């Protein structure tokens, strides 16, 4: 544990969070009337409290023109993070070990983007104050900041469990992992007993159940640091205002639309409330637990409305899905909403973007429909809220049939898919999407086989690659072995080549030779 009560003996899990990509911050900005940051000429991006640095390293591999910096005080994070970046050939990232507040002033350049994910809740008031002061000094005018935190009221009935866990483990022998394990067992025992608090707070009971399947290293970092702040959106906006940072909007994208994030009975309420009042109302309506908020460095409050379409003009949009579904159910906060894009103008936009990523101006020109800019923006917003499409950093050619031979240009992606990388559920860098693209473990093996053996030999290669993982093959909930397993894997490989490979070419993850 360091002097600030922060546990350093247990590393944080090695997560990649693609939503921290510049394209997402830019999109939320444009959607809320704020100028996106230019990407093509280069930019400076900081991940404060970067953990093992997988997000920042993946993003650095997506944007060779960007300068990326990750700061973390834990040497067990920065050491492996720097080693991975070096092995993966990513040289536009600097991973700095240390307390951000103690760094030399010139260690971090003026920033276009700064992200603090999993940070603000878990440090004390003095470190939060220093973080705000750091952002005030470092973020350029017009720069964008993403901060996530545990929010109220969503944690109101779960927060007391933390006090109980910490009190229980005070005398338990062992390190943080053993203590977290003991605390989890203790809560499970309480859940089976007649505890009025749990009877009166079913959400706390459900959380105890969920904890039984959560990783212990995650539980250590969620509940056992000395400090743990739960905030209303209004608290954080007030803190960030000290750094000249104004609230812009939030992720996931659907939370920016009151029509999706408020129940019908509260729809009108948004119009009578201030922007932050509306956000707070949404958090009560949805019992929100985690907010991911975007801020802009600006002395002016963000503009809303009239400029929006012109702000979209320079943005690109596309999909990473092999075949997006035009009708989807999406969970926005704790609310499930059906979005239907099967017909009309939404369908035309859907089809145009499913075929090829384009910028907003290019999209409007192919739609050939007399529609207002406002409607075009709203349709796009809805397609992003449905998760079928996402912001891209550039355009690409239409889908093509997967050719006989491809190469994987990015050394980072080659490393991730190698046995030394993170081949289970890998997240690959797409320079076209400007974002990490998650694929499943089988698709990772299939991609390796395709690159190594070409289209004609990929199936021969993927069967032994799969066997080497030692995993059982499950088809229709049954374990399949022997010849039947080989046939099923070959069929999956054919599906990969038809559906996934063309999309991976479009995303710039592989390229025809
Ligand atoms: C919960 S982890 C989140 C890691 C990563 N951002 C993610 O979301 O996967 C928070 C990180 O902040 C780092 N941290 C906490 N206080 C810090 C400080 N004062 N200076 C630099 N890093 C700090 C911790 O070491 C830890 O790795």
Asked whether residue 479 is domain-assigned, the answer is yes
Q: Which domain holds residue 471?
A: 406-512
- How many Å lie between the centroid of ligand 1 and the Cα of residue 49? 3
pLDDT by residue, tens only, the chain of 513 residues? 676 777 888 888 899 999 999 999 999 999 999 999 999 999 999 999 999 999 999 999 999 999 999 999 999 999 999 999 999 999 999 999 999 999 999 999 999 999 999 999 999 999 999 999 999 999 999 999 999 999 999 999 999 999 999 999 998 999 999 999 999 999 999 999 989 999 999 999 999 999 999 999 999 999 999 999 999 999 999 999 999 999 999 999 999 998 999 988 888 776 667 899 999 999 999 999 999 999 999 977 665 555 566 889 889 999 999 999 999 999 988 889 999 999 988 899 999 999 999 999 888 888 766 578 888 889 999 999 999 999 999 999 999 999 999 999 999 999 999 988 877 889 999 999 999 999 999 999 999 999 999 999 999 999 999 988 888 888 888 888 888 888 999 999 999 999 999 999 999 999 999
Residue with tokens 């056992």: 224
CA geometry: angle at 444 spanning 87 and 474, to 5°?
Answer: 140
Q: Are 163 and 226 in contact (CB under 8 A)?
A: no
- How many Å lie between the centroid of ligand 1 and the Cα of residue 118? 7
Cα 72 off chain centre by: 19
Ligand 1 atom at shortest distance from the alpha carbon of 47: 6
pLDDT for 359 equals 94
Asked whether residue 71 is domain-assigned, the answer is yes
- How many Å lie between the centroid of ligand 1 and the Cα of residue 15? 12
What is the CB < 6 Å shell around ligand 1?
A: 6, 12, 15, 17, 49-51, 71-74, 77, 99-100, 117-119, 122-123, 127, 221
How far is the C-alpha of 347 from the C-alpha of 414, rounded, in Å? 36
- Other CB atoms closer than 10 Å to residue 259's CB: what's the count? 13
Asked whether residue 432 is domain-assigned, the answer is yes
Asked whether residue 249 is domain-assigned, the answer is yes
| Whether residue 371 sits in one domain with residue 316 | yes
Beta-bridge partner residues of 437 = 428
| Whether residue 285 sits in one domain with residue 433 | no
pLDDT for 42 equals 98
What is the 3-state secondary structure of 91-115?
CCEEEEECCHHHCCHHHCCCEEEEE
CA distances in angstroms from 147 to 48, 279, 300, listed in the order given? 10, 15, 20
| Whether residue 345 sits in one domain with residue 274 | no
| Whether residue 147 sits in one domain with residue 119 | yes
| Whether residue 132 sits in one domain with residue 277 | yes
CATH number reported for the structural domain that contains residue 120 in this entry: 3.40.50.150
Asked whether residue 302 is domain-assigned, the answer is no
| Whether residue 426 sits in one domain with residue 366 | no
Nearest-CA residue for atom 1 of ligand 1: 118
Asked whether residue 8 is domain-assigned, the answer is no
Ligand 1 atom at shortest distance from the alpha carbon of 116: 6
| Whether residue 420 sits in one domain with residue 496 | yes
| Whether residue 129 sits in one domain with residue 110 | yes
| Whether residue 502 sits in one domain with residue 381 | no
| Whether residue 315 sits in one domain with residue 170 | no
Q: How many domains does the chain have?
A: 4
Asked whether residue 85 is domain-assigned, the answer is yes
Domain boundary among 365, 392, 419: 392
Tally: H helices and E strands in the chain: 20, 18
pLDDT for 264 equals 87
| Whether residue 326 sits in one domain with residue 248 | no
pLDDT for 48 equals 98
Strands 290-297 and 139-150: antiparallel
| Whether residue 174 sits in one domain with residue 136 | no
pLDDT for 199 equals 95
Asked whether residue 399 is domain-assigned, the answer is no
Nearest-CA residue for atom 18 of ligand 1: 99
Domain boundary among 297, 328, 344: 297
Q: Are 304 and 261 in contact (CB under 8 A)?
A: no
- How many Å lie between the centroid of ligand 1 and the Cα of residue 74? 8
Domain boundary among 223, 251, 279: 223
């Amino acid at each position: 544990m360091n002097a600030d009560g922060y546990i350093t003996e247990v590393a944080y899990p090695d997560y990649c969070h693609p939503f921290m990509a510049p394209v997402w911050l830019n999109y939320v900005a444009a959607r809320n009337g704020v100028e996106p940051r230019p990407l093509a000429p280069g930019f400076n991006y900081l991940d404060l409290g970067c953990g093992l640095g997988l997000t920042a390293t993946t993003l650095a591999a997506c944007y060779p023109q960007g300068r990326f910096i990750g700061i973390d005080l834990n040497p067990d994070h920065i050491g492996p993070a720097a080693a991975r970046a070096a092995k993966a050939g990513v040289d536009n990232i600097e991973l700095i070990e240390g307390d951000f507040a103690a760094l030399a002033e010139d260690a971090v350049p003026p920033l276009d983007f700064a992200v603090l994910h999993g940070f603000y809740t878990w440090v004390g008031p003095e470190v939060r104050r220093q973080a705000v002061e750091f952002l005030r000094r470092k973020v350029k005018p017009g720069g964008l900041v993403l901060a996530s935190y545990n929010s109220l009221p969503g944690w109101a009935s779960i927060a007391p469990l933390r006090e109980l866990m910490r009190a229980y483990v005070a005398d338990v022998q062992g390190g943080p992992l053993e203590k977290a394990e003991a605390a989890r067992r203790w809560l499970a025992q309480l859940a089976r007993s007649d505890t009025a608090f749990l009877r009166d707070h079913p959400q706390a009971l459900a959380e105890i159940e969920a904890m039984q399947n959560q990783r212990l290293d995650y539980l250590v970092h969620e509940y056992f640091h000395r400090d743990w702040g739960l905030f209303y959106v209004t608290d954080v906006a007030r803190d960030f205002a000290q750094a000249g940072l104004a609230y812009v909007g939030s992720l996931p994208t659907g939370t920016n639309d009151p029509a999706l994030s408020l129940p019908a009975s509260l729809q009108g309420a948004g119009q009578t409330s201030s922007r932050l009042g509306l956000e707070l109302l949404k958090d009560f309506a949805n019992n929100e637990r985690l907010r991911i908020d975007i801020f802009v460095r600006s002395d002016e409050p963000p503009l809303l409305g009239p400029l929006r379409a012109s702000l979209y003009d320079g943005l690109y949009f596309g999909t990473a899905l092999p075949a997006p579904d035009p009708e989807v159910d999406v969970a926005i906060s704790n609310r499930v909403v059906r979005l239907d894009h099967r017909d009309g103008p939404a369908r035309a936009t859907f089809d145009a973007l499913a075929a090829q990523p384009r910028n907003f101006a290019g999209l409007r020109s192919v739609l050939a429909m007399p529609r207002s800019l406002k409607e075009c923006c709203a349709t796009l917003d809805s397609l992003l809220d449905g998760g079928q499409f996402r912001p891209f950093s550039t355009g690409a050619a239409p889908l093509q049939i997967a050719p006989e031979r491809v190469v994987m240009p990015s050394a980072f992606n080659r490393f991730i898919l190698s046995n030394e990388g993170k081949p289970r559920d890998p997240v690959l860098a797409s320079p076209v999407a400007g974002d990490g693209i998650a694929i499943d473990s089988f698709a990772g093996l299939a991609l390796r086989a395709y690159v190594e053996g070409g289209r004609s030999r990929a199936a021969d290669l993927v069967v032994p690659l799969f066997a080497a993982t030692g995993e059982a093959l499950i088809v229709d909930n049954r374990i399949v072995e022997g010849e039947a397993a080989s046939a099923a894997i070959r069929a999956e490989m054919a599906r990969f080549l038809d559906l996934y490979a063309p999309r991976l070419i479009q995303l710039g993850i592989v390229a025809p030779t």
